[in-house]
Chains A and B, each alone.
Chain A
Amino acid sequence: MATHQSITSMPFDTIGRPVLTSGWRRALKRTLSAYALSIPAIVLMVIMLIAPLVSVFILALTDYQLGAPTFEFIGLRNFKALLGDSVFWTSLGNTLLYAALVVPGSVTLGLGAALLIESGVGLRSFYRAVFFLPVMATLIAMAIVWEFMLHPTFGIANLTLVSFGLRPQNWLQDGQLALPTLAVIGIWQQFGFNMVLFLAGLVTIPKHLYEAAALDGVPNAWERFRLVIWPMLGPVTLFVVVISAIRALQVFDTVQALTKGGPNKATEVLLYTMYAEGFEFFRTGYASAVTVVFIVLVLALTLAKTFILEKRVHYA
């Protein structure tokens, strides 16, 4: 392994000093330089990441409120309060429901787009660029555009419905519709990202498999997809599903800007609950407890992703 590049491989003395002394001095110097080079990163890593992470778990055990002169350790009372808090359960349920809508939606659309692009030759890079555009564009700005498109009276969505003789909808203020509407925005934003991952996965399928399938008389594109592409894309698909789920659990921008968790908590999601508790009501201890739940969820998925990625690398 290249990590074992050793300092002793270097005691090349060109100016006639005793090799041992020179090697020693160089070794010492190099060790000191190594610390000098990595100290800023180490210090910042501790201050900005590790200490705050530890603090979240500690704060979750306190009744601390921002600005309060004192606080007390209250054990698991924040977590007990969470369990009895209907807003928290709504929030957790909505987050999972949002993910349950966005993950299949954005994965299917991403896969479909990738397969359609690869099935022909015309306008490939055009479609790829167009589908990737929503991934790039500032989500919060586009959320405001969506809000305007969904405006009850002069939004294009309702104007279109009305022109077909259908009833206009109150997309973002209707308790039944608000979360699915946000999910559509989520799918719109994410599917291009998934498409690119699928395109990369399609390239790794060996050509001879298609040839073999053709020789074996696989009759049509659908059968080819079912027998060759889908099995070969298995690991990529799993990876894309996990990555989409991690992103879906982090939904915040559209909720904060468009619905504020409403109407009547219909779009309350975990990060929004944490934001409201921590930065609007300044109930830091309680917000930390919500954060702990969020961390556990995301961490479980991140570990799953790392596992898949490792496996994929090993087989590659």
Chain B
Amino acid sequence: MIERAALPRQSLSPLARIARHAALLSIAVFALLPFVWMISTSLKPPSEILSSEVRFWPSEFYGAENFRAAFTAAPLARYLLNGVIVTSAIFTLQVLIALPAAYALAKLRFWGRDIVFGAVLFCLLIPYHAVAVPLFVFFYYLGILNSYAALVMPFTISVFGIFLMRQFFMTVPDDLVDAARMDGISEFGIVWRVMLPTAVPALTAFGIFSVVAHWNDYFWPLIAVSDQTYFTPPLGVVAFRNDEAGSNYGPLMAAATIIILPLVVAFLVAQKRFVEGITFTGMK
């Protein structure tokens, strides 16, 4: 929908066209400068990084050394692996738990349904930082701080996922469900064999939202784990910065580049889906 022309597409005068690009480019410089400077620094030798001259392209290419140092000076590969484990576990569990509930709320009648849906709407209002203190105490007594479980468990329930999928399932015709029942498919089977295939677009948007949110999350991992074994990429890059006492900027910028790379590449490949996924779900 964003593709459509919103403003009247009268052709601008050449002067106006130049002014438009000039204004947009200056905003683009603001948006891009940190990325450009990060990459540029990750390719420079220490002597050039600490020089008092602003240069974007290194005169001596030092990228290989910096990126190698990023992987050897800190367990960066481990952090990345943890990030993959945690984000994929969260998303998988969110789907496994939210989809059946969303189907029940949309298509089945049972006592207490309105109460459950009311609770979902209520939980949508709870800011995610608000429950950190009691969850921390709870996990402390369970003895599961410093584990993958601590990183994943609070997010296994996505009330937003339930709400989103329930709204989507409401638009699926009842006939489709009835036909499946007539074919002898159980309610459980209907969720995965009938509803899931219709829900792929909504689920993709939700998946992008979930993965981006949890790959980038710093607040909860910071609280939940202190053992480096379980560090996610955001914790890892901060630990790296602290260990190097802010002197080894080449490898540090290389590490930052690597950590943002997976999402940035995915974004550039599937721009429209990402923008949709993050904004439409980010409005929650």
A residues lining the B interface (CB < 8 Å): 2-7, 9-10, 12, 14, 30-31, 33-38, 40-42, 44-45, 48-53, 55-56, 59, 66-67, 109, 112-113, 115-123, 125, 127-142, 144-149, 154, 156, 159-160, 162-163, 188, 192-193, 196-197, 199-200, 202-203, 205, 207, 210-211, 214, 229, 243, 250, 252-253, 256-257, 271, 274-275, 278-279, 284, 287-288, 291, 294-295, 298-299, 302-303, 306, 309
Which chain A residues lie closer than 8 Å to B23 at the CB level?
112, 116
Q: Which of A51, A197, A287 is the one whose CB lies under 8 Å from B279?
A: A197
Q: Is the CB of B234 within 8 A of A48?
A: no
Give B117 Cβ to nearest chain A Cβ, in Å.
9
A52-B138 contact, Cβ under 8 Å, with A33-B188, A37-B187, A137-B35? yes
Which chain A residues lie closer than 8 Å to B9 at the CB level?
121
The 5 closest A-B pairs by CB, nearest first: A41-B101, A33-B187, A52-B131, A202-B6, A44-B157
Classify the secondary structure of A's interface with B: helix
Give B119 Cβ to nearest chain A Cβ, in Å.
6
Q: Is the CB of B219 within 8 A of A252?
A: yes
B12 at the interface (CB under 8 A from A): yes
Q: Is the CB of B37 within 8 A of A48?
A: no
Please give me the residue from chain B that is nearest to A292 by CB atom: B130
- Number of residues of chain B lying within 8 A (CB) of chain A: 111
Q: Is the CB of B233 within 8 A of A138?
A: yes
Give A109 Cβ to nearest chain B Cβ, in Å.
7
| Bound complex: CA A113 to CA B23 (Å) | 9
B120 at the interface (CB under 8 A from A): yes
B68 at the interface (CB under 8 A from A): no
| Bound complex: CA A109 to CA B21 (Å) | 15
| Bound complex: CA A56 to CA B206 (Å) | 29
Which chain A residues lie closer than 8 Å to B137 at the CB level?
55, 59, 66, 284
Which chain A residues lie closer than 8 Å to B271 at the CB level?
125, 128-129, 132
